[in-house]
Amino acid sequence: MKSQPLAYNKDNQEDKEPLFDTVDTVRDCLRAFGDMIPAIESNKPSMLEAARRGFSTATDLADYLVGKGLPFRDSHEIVGKSVAYGIEKQQDLSEMSLAQLQQFSDQITDDVFDVLTLEGSVAARDHIGGTAPSQVRAAASRALARLDTR
């Protein structure tokens, strides 16, 4: 900015315009969402069915295998083979039998089905910012407390 010719300093004012446009756009989006959110109705059975598809618990299987002592690189490979098999057979991980899962690793035992459920997957993330119900309640309480102090 130093030593610019006299007429150039006016160009430097134009760098703020995109910022102001962005603020206006965000404000407009928040107003639109504020009007939409109360009218949203969820189809819980459909949402649950969609969440059960797509190998959403693959990471949980990898974590499970790491918990059994396997290195992550090996767990990752096992999960990849399991998912490929599931795609071929049109089965999600939670729909496979114990025998089907054990063909990829003998470390897999019947307790694997505790982590291959959606509930088990959500509960496994029990840390700040995680999806475990206790963490969600705590985050909501913190957010409400912040709103009450304003």
Residue 4 reports pLDDT greater than 80: no
Which residue has 């992550």 as its token pair? Answer: 72
Instruction: Please report where in the chains the tokens 């760098």 appear, as a residue.
Output: 15
Residue 113 pLDDT: 92
Reduced to 3 states (helix: H, G, I; strand: E, B; else coil), residue 5 is: coil
Residue 74 amino acid letter: D
DSSP-derived 3-state class of residue 26: helix
Q: Residue 22's pLDDT is what?
A: 94
CATH class label, 54-110: mainly alpha
Q: Mark residue 132 as left, alpha or beta (left: phi above 0; alpha: psi -120 to 50; beta: remaining).
A: beta
Residue 150 has pLDDT above 80, yes or no: no
pLDDT for 7-62, tens place per residue?
566 566 666 788 899 999 999 999 999 999 999 999 999 998 888 888 989 999 99
pLDDT of 51: 86
Mean predicted confidence (pLDDT) in 95-122: 93
User: The tokens of 98 are what?
Assistant: 């114990």
Q: Which residue type, as a one-letter code, is found at position 49? A: E
Cα separation of 89 and 83, whole Å?
10
Q: Which secondary structure element, helix H or strand E, spans residue 75, and what is its range? A: helix 72-89
Lowest-confidence pick of 8-12, 54-58, 99-103, 112-116: 8-12
85 Cβ contact list (under 8 Å, min separation 6) = 96, 100, 103, 104
Give CA–CA dist 49/39, Å, rounded.
22
Enumerate the domain spans of the chain.
54-110, 117-150
